[in-house]
Structure 1
Protein backbone atom coordinates (compact mmCIF):
# COMPACT_ATOMS: atom_id res chain seq x y z
CA UNK A 1 0.00 0.00 0.00
CA UNK A 2 1.50 3.35 -0.97
CA UNK A 3 1.99 6.40 1.22
CA UNK A 4 0.78 8.68 -1.60
CA UNK A 5 -1.98 10.94 -0.38
CA UNK A 6 -1.71 9.67 3.19
CA UNK A 7 -3.41 12.03 5.63
CA UNK A 8 -4.45 11.59 9.21
CA UNK A 9 -8.01 10.35 9.34
CA UNK A 10 -8.09 9.63 5.60
CA UNK A 11 -8.95 5.99 6.21
CA UNK A 12 -5.54 4.73 5.18
CA UNK A 13 -3.47 2.55 7.48
CA UNK A 14 -0.96 4.25 9.75
CA UNK A 15 2.72 3.36 9.71
CA UNK A 16 2.22 1.27 12.87
CA UNK A 17 -0.67 -0.61 11.28
CA UNK A 18 1.33 -1.28 8.12
CA UNK A 19 4.20 -2.58 10.27
CA UNK A 20 1.78 -4.81 12.21
CA UNK A 21 0.33 -6.26 9.00
CA UNK A 22 3.79 -6.76 7.47
CA UNK A 23 5.08 -8.49 10.60
CA UNK A 24 2.00 -10.71 10.76
CA UNK A 25 2.41 -11.65 7.09
CA UNK A 26 6.14 -12.28 7.52
CA UNK A 27 5.48 -14.75 10.35
CA UNK A 28 2.88 -16.58 8.24
CA UNK A 29 5.30 -16.74 5.29
CA UNK A 30 8.10 -17.98 7.58
CA UNK A 31 5.83 -20.74 8.90
CA UNK A 32 4.93 -21.69 5.33
CA UNK A 33 8.64 -21.84 4.46
CA UNK A 34 9.37 -24.07 7.48
CA UNK A 35 6.51 -26.37 6.55
CA UNK A 36 7.56 -26.55 2.90
CA UNK A 37 11.20 -27.33 3.78
CA UNK A 38 10.30 -30.00 6.34
CA UNK A 39 7.72 -31.68 4.11
CA UNK A 40 9.99 -31.47 1.05
CA UNK A 41 12.90 -32.87 3.01
CA UNK A 42 10.76 -35.70 4.36
CA UNK A 43 9.36 -36.60 0.93
CA UNK A 44 12.88 -36.59 -0.51
CA UNK A 45 14.13 -38.85 2.28
CA UNK A 46 11.25 -41.28 1.76
CA UNK A 47 11.90 -41.38 -1.96
CA UNK A 48 15.70 -41.66 -1.75
CA UNK A 49 16.18 -43.79 1.38
CA UNK A 50 12.78 -45.33 2.09
CA UNK A 51 12.98 -43.73 5.55
CA UNK A 52 11.33 -40.63 6.91
CA UNK A 53 11.78 -38.17 9.73
CA UNK A 54 9.62 -39.27 12.68
CA UNK A 55 8.87 -35.67 13.66
CA UNK A 56 8.16 -34.18 10.21
CA UNK A 57 4.42 -34.82 10.23
CA UNK A 58 4.04 -33.13 13.60
CA UNK A 59 6.06 -30.11 12.51
CA UNK A 60 3.97 -29.80 9.33
CA UNK A 61 0.71 -30.17 11.24
CA UNK A 62 1.61 -27.68 13.96
CA UNK A 63 2.99 -25.09 11.55
CA UNK A 64 -0.22 -25.41 9.51
CA UNK A 65 -2.30 -24.84 12.64
CA UNK A 66 -0.31 -21.73 13.52
CA UNK A 67 -0.46 -20.48 9.91
CA UNK A 68 -4.24 -20.77 9.84
CA UNK A 69 -4.77 -18.91 13.09
CA UNK A 70 -2.16 -16.23 12.40
CA UNK A 71 -3.27 -15.77 8.79
CA UNK A 72 -6.98 -15.45 9.56
CA UNK A 73 -6.61 -11.79 10.52
CA UNK A 74 -4.85 -11.02 7.24
CA UNK A 75 -7.70 -12.64 5.35
CA UNK A 76 -10.22 -10.69 7.42
CA UNK A 77 -8.59 -7.42 6.40
CA UNK A 78 -9.23 -8.19 2.74
CA UNK A 79 -12.76 -9.49 3.19
CA UNK A 80 -11.53 -12.92 2.11
CA UNK A 81 -13.62 -14.90 4.60
CA UNK A 82 -16.98 -16.26 3.56
CA UNK A 83 -19.56 -13.47 3.62
CA UNK A 84 -23.01 -12.72 2.34
CA UNK A 85 -22.47 -9.39 0.63
CA UNK A 86 -25.63 -9.49 -1.44
CA UNK A 87 -27.84 -8.67 1.57
CA UNK A 88 -25.73 -5.65 2.45
CA UNK A 89 -25.72 -4.37 -1.13
CA UNK A 90 -29.51 -4.82 -1.41
CA UNK A 91 -30.21 -2.68 1.65
CA UNK A 92 -30.52 1.10 1.72
CA UNK A 93 -27.25 2.77 2.86
CA UNK A 94 -28.41 3.42 6.44
CA UNK A 95 -29.61 -0.16 6.93
CA UNK A 96 -26.41 -1.52 5.34
CA UNK A 97 -24.44 0.51 7.89
CA UNK A 98 -26.57 -0.89 10.75
CA UNK A 99 -25.93 -4.40 9.42
CA UNK A 100 -22.17 -3.72 9.32
CA UNK A 101 -22.28 -2.48 12.94
CA UNK A 102 -24.10 -5.68 13.95
CA UNK A 103 -21.59 -7.84 12.06
CA UNK A 104 -18.67 -6.05 13.73
CA UNK A 105 -20.24 -6.45 17.16
CA UNK A 106 -20.93 -10.15 16.63
CA UNK A 107 -17.42 -10.76 15.32
CA UNK A 108 -15.86 -8.92 18.24
CA UNK A 109 -17.89 -10.90 20.78
CA UNK A 110 -17.12 -14.18 18.98
CA UNK A 111 -13.39 -13.43 18.82
CA UNK A 112 -13.27 -12.54 22.52
CA UNK A 113 -15.15 -15.71 23.46
CA UNK A 114 -12.75 -17.75 21.33
CA UNK A 115 -9.74 -16.15 23.02
CA UNK A 116 -11.16 -17.35 26.34
CA UNK A 117 -11.92 -20.82 25.02
CA UNK A 118 -8.49 -21.06 23.43
CA UNK A 119 -6.86 -20.04 26.68
CA UNK A 120 -8.88 -22.73 28.46
CA UNK A 121 -7.83 -25.39 25.92
CA UNK A 122 -4.24 -24.28 26.22
CA UNK A 123 -4.34 -24.59 30.02
CA UNK A 124 -5.93 -28.04 29.86
CA UNK A 125 -3.24 -29.27 27.47
CA UNK A 126 -0.27 -27.95 29.45
CA UNK A 127 0.72 -31.39 30.73
CA UNK A 128 0.18 -33.27 27.47
CA UNK A 129 3.22 -33.85 25.23
CA UNK A 130 3.29 -34.47 21.50
CA UNK A 131 4.30 -37.96 20.42
CA UNK A 132 7.37 -37.31 18.29
CA UNK A 133 8.65 -33.86 19.26
CA UNK A 134 7.82 -34.18 22.99
CA UNK A 135 6.52 -30.62 22.71
CA UNK A 136 4.07 -29.37 25.29
CA UNK A 137 0.70 -29.33 23.55
CA UNK A 138 -0.10 -26.04 25.22
CA UNK A 139 2.28 -24.47 22.67
CA UNK A 140 0.18 -25.91 19.86
CA UNK A 141 -3.10 -24.85 21.48
CA UNK A 142 -1.69 -21.36 22.06
CA UNK A 143 -2.30 -20.74 18.36
CA UNK A 144 -6.00 -20.35 19.09
CA UNK A 145 -5.94 -17.50 21.64
CA UNK A 146 -3.04 -15.80 19.85
CA UNK A 147 -4.78 -16.08 16.48
CA UNK A 148 -8.09 -14.78 17.81
CA UNK A 149 -6.30 -11.94 19.62
CA UNK A 150 -4.72 -10.99 16.29
CA UNK A 151 -8.13 -11.28 14.62
CA UNK A 152 -9.50 -8.88 17.24
CA UNK A 153 -6.71 -6.37 16.59
CA UNK A 154 -7.19 -6.63 12.81
CA UNK A 155 -10.96 -6.23 13.23
CA UNK A 156 -10.57 -3.11 15.34
CA UNK A 157 -8.07 -1.64 12.88
CA UNK A 158 -10.30 -2.17 9.85
CA UNK A 159 -13.59 -1.32 11.58
CA UNK A 160 -13.72 2.34 10.48
CA UNK A 161 -13.07 1.45 6.84
CA UNK A 162 -15.56 -1.41 6.98
CA UNK A 163 -18.24 0.76 8.58
CA UNK A 164 -17.81 3.40 5.87
CA UNK A 165 -18.00 1.13 2.87
CA UNK A 166 -17.76 -2.57 3.65
CA UNK A 167 -15.23 -4.46 1.58
CA UNK A 168 -16.60 -3.46 -1.80
CA UNK A 169 -14.15 -0.59 -2.29
CA UNK A 170 -10.41 -0.18 -2.65
CA UNK A 171 -8.90 0.31 0.84
CA UNK A 172 -6.68 3.11 -0.48
CA UNK A 173 -9.67 5.18 -1.57
CA UNK A 174 -11.06 7.64 0.93
CA UNK A 175 -14.78 7.72 1.58
CA UNK A 176 -16.77 10.84 2.54
Structure 2
Protein backbone atom coordinates (compact mmCIF):
# COMPACT_ATOMS: atom_id res chain seq x y z
CA UNK A 1 0.00 0.00 0.00
CA UNK A 2 2.77 2.45 0.93
CA UNK A 3 4.66 1.55 -2.23
CA UNK A 4 1.63 2.31 -4.37
CA UNK A 5 1.14 5.68 -2.67
CA UNK A 6 4.82 6.60 -3.05
CA UNK A 7 4.88 5.53 -6.69
CA UNK A 8 1.68 7.48 -7.34
CA UNK A 9 3.25 10.59 -5.82
CA UNK A 10 6.39 9.99 -7.87
CA UNK A 11 4.42 9.61 -11.10
CA UNK A 12 2.41 12.73 -10.28
CA UNK A 13 5.65 14.67 -9.71
CA UNK A 14 7.12 13.35 -12.95
CA UNK A 15 4.01 14.30 -14.93
CA UNK A 16 4.01 17.71 -13.28
CA UNK A 17 7.64 18.24 -14.25
CA UNK A 18 6.88 17.21 -17.83
CA UNK A 19 3.87 19.51 -18.06
CA UNK A 20 5.66 22.47 -16.52
CA UNK A 21 8.73 22.15 -18.74
CA UNK A 22 6.46 21.82 -21.77
CA UNK A 23 4.60 24.94 -20.66
CA UNK A 24 7.88 26.80 -20.25
CA UNK A 25 8.90 25.87 -23.78
CA UNK A 26 5.51 26.96 -25.15
CA UNK A 27 5.74 30.30 -23.33
CA UNK A 28 8.78 31.21 -25.37
CA UNK A 29 6.71 31.19 -28.56
CA UNK A 30 3.50 32.70 -27.25
CA UNK A 31 2.90 36.45 -27.22
CA UNK A 32 2.28 36.46 -23.47
CA UNK A 33 4.49 37.07 -20.49
CA UNK A 34 5.97 33.89 -19.08
CA UNK A 35 5.11 32.54 -15.67
CA UNK A 36 8.30 32.30 -13.59
CA UNK A 37 6.71 29.96 -11.08
CA UNK A 38 6.66 27.11 -13.62
CA UNK A 39 10.43 26.58 -13.47
CA UNK A 40 10.47 26.88 -9.70
CA UNK A 41 7.70 24.32 -9.25
CA UNK A 42 9.40 21.96 -11.72
CA UNK A 43 12.61 22.11 -9.65
CA UNK A 44 10.73 21.50 -6.41
CA UNK A 45 8.89 18.59 -8.02
CA UNK A 46 12.21 17.02 -9.00
CA UNK A 47 13.33 17.18 -5.36
CA UNK A 48 10.05 15.66 -4.22
CA UNK A 49 10.22 12.94 -6.87
CA UNK A 50 13.72 11.99 -5.77
CA UNK A 51 13.01 11.74 -2.06
CA UNK A 52 9.46 10.37 -2.11
CA UNK A 53 10.51 7.38 -4.22
CA UNK A 54 13.73 6.65 -2.28
CA UNK A 55 11.95 4.22 0.04
CA UNK A 56 10.65 2.22 -2.90
CA UNK A 57 14.21 1.80 -4.15
CA UNK A 58 15.25 0.40 -0.77
CA UNK A 59 12.38 -2.09 -0.78
CA UNK A 60 13.07 -3.26 -4.31
CA UNK A 61 16.80 -3.48 -3.62
CA UNK A 62 17.37 -0.97 -6.41
CA UNK A 63 19.24 1.66 -4.47
CA UNK A 64 22.92 2.27 -5.03
CA UNK A 65 24.84 -0.75 -3.83
CA UNK A 66 28.05 -2.62 -4.37
CA UNK A 67 27.14 -6.00 -5.75
CA UNK A 68 30.62 -7.50 -5.50
CA UNK A 69 29.73 -8.94 -2.09
CA UNK A 70 26.93 -10.95 -3.71
CA UNK A 71 29.54 -12.99 -5.57
CA UNK A 72 31.37 -14.04 -2.40
CA UNK A 73 30.64 -17.69 -1.59
CA UNK A 74 28.91 -18.29 1.69
CA UNK A 75 25.62 -16.97 2.95
CA UNK A 76 26.93 -15.64 6.28
CA UNK A 77 29.17 -12.94 4.78
CA UNK A 78 26.45 -11.76 2.38
CA UNK A 79 23.94 -11.72 5.22
CA UNK A 80 26.18 -9.68 7.52
CA UNK A 81 27.09 -7.14 4.84
CA UNK A 82 23.46 -6.71 3.77
CA UNK A 83 22.25 -6.22 7.35
CA UNK A 84 25.03 -3.75 8.16
CA UNK A 85 24.44 -1.79 4.94
CA UNK A 86 20.70 -1.57 5.65
CA UNK A 87 21.42 -0.33 9.17
CA UNK A 88 23.80 2.31 7.78
CA UNK A 89 21.14 3.45 5.30
CA UNK A 90 18.62 3.61 8.15
CA UNK A 91 21.01 5.65 10.32
CA UNK A 92 21.61 8.11 7.49
CA UNK A 93 17.86 8.27 6.94
CA UNK A 94 17.34 9.13 10.62
CA UNK A 95 19.85 11.96 10.28
CA UNK A 96 18.07 13.24 7.17
CA UNK A 97 14.70 13.02 8.96
CA UNK A 98 16.02 15.06 11.88
CA UNK A 99 17.47 17.67 9.55
CA UNK A 100 14.28 17.84 7.48
CA UNK A 101 12.27 18.27 10.68
CA UNK A 102 14.57 21.06 11.82
CA UNK A 103 14.30 22.80 8.45
CA UNK A 104 10.52 22.38 8.47
CA UNK A 105 10.36 24.08 11.86
CA UNK A 106 12.79 26.91 11.14
CA UNK A 107 12.36 27.74 7.45
CA UNK A 108 8.64 28.47 7.37
CA UNK A 109 9.32 32.19 7.34
CA UNK A 110 11.25 31.89 4.05
CA UNK A 111 9.23 31.84 0.86
CA UNK A 112 10.21 30.77 -2.62
CA UNK A 113 10.87 33.70 -4.94
CA UNK A 114 8.27 33.12 -7.66
CA UNK A 115 5.50 31.09 -6.02
CA UNK A 116 5.83 32.50 -2.50
CA UNK A 117 5.56 28.92 -1.22
CA UNK A 118 6.80 28.46 2.35
CA UNK A 119 10.11 26.62 2.14
CA UNK A 120 9.02 24.41 5.02
CA UNK A 121 6.70 22.67 2.53
CA UNK A 122 9.68 21.63 0.43
CA UNK A 123 11.30 19.96 3.44
CA UNK A 124 8.07 18.46 4.78
CA UNK A 125 7.39 16.53 1.58
CA UNK A 126 11.01 15.38 1.47
CA UNK A 127 10.73 14.14 5.06
CA UNK A 128 8.04 11.66 3.95
CA UNK A 129 10.64 9.96 1.78
CA UNK A 130 13.25 9.97 4.54
CA UNK A 131 10.86 8.31 6.99
CA UNK A 132 10.05 5.71 4.35
CA UNK A 133 13.77 5.00 3.82
CA UNK A 134 14.29 4.47 7.55
CA UNK A 135 11.32 2.15 7.99
CA UNK A 136 12.02 0.14 4.85
CA UNK A 137 15.75 -0.17 5.62
CA UNK A 138 15.01 -1.51 9.10
CA UNK A 139 12.51 -3.99 7.67
CA UNK A 140 15.04 -5.10 5.04
CA UNK A 141 17.75 -5.48 7.69
CA UNK A 142 15.42 -7.71 9.71
CA UNK A 143 14.53 -9.78 6.68
CA UNK A 144 18.18 -10.24 5.71
CA UNK A 145 19.04 -11.19 9.30
CA UNK A 146 16.29 -13.80 9.48
CA UNK A 147 16.08 -15.14 5.93
CA UNK A 148 19.55 -14.33 4.59
CA UNK A 149 20.58 -12.47 1.48
CA UNK A 150 19.04 -13.49 -1.82
CA UNK A 151 21.08 -15.70 -4.07
CA UNK A 152 23.11 -13.66 -6.52
CA UNK A 153 21.96 -13.45 -10.10
CA UNK A 154 24.52 -13.13 -12.80
CA UNK A 155 22.27 -11.65 -15.49
CA UNK A 156 24.14 -8.34 -15.58
CA UNK A 157 27.63 -9.80 -15.22
CA UNK A 158 29.63 -11.10 -18.14
CA UNK A 159 31.39 -14.22 -16.97
CA UNK A 160 34.83 -14.80 -18.49
CA UNK A 161 35.03 -17.69 -20.89
CA UNK A 162 37.91 -20.12 -20.83
- Identify the TM-score tier after normalising by the shorter chain: 0.7 to 0.9
Alignment map for 1:16-165 (pairs within 5 Å):
19-49=1-31, 51-163=33-145, 164-165=148-149
* Aligned CA distance change for structure 1 residues 88 and 102 (closer, same or farther; 3 Å): same
1:106 is displaced (CA, Å) by: 1.3
1:165 is displaced (CA, Å) by: 2.2
Deviations 1:47-78 (A, max 9, x none): 23364212111110111111110011122222
The RMSD of aligned alpha carbons is 2.1
Structure 2 unmatched runs, 5+? 154-162
Moved over 6 A (4+): none
* Aligned CA distance change for structure 1 residues 91 and 51 (closer, same or farther; 3 Å): farther
Name whichever of 65-74 and 115-124 sits farther off: 115-124
Structure 1 unmatched runs, 5+? 1-18, 170-176
Deviations 1:145-173 (A, max 9, x none): 2211011232234445544224846xxxx
Secondary structure (helix, strand or coil) at the match of 2:30 reads helix
Alignment check: 8 A CA contact 1:130 1:137 kept = yes
How many residue pairs match? The answer is 151
Secondary structure (helix, strand or coil) at the match of 2:98 reads helix
Name whichever of 130-139 and 79-88 sits farther off: 79-88
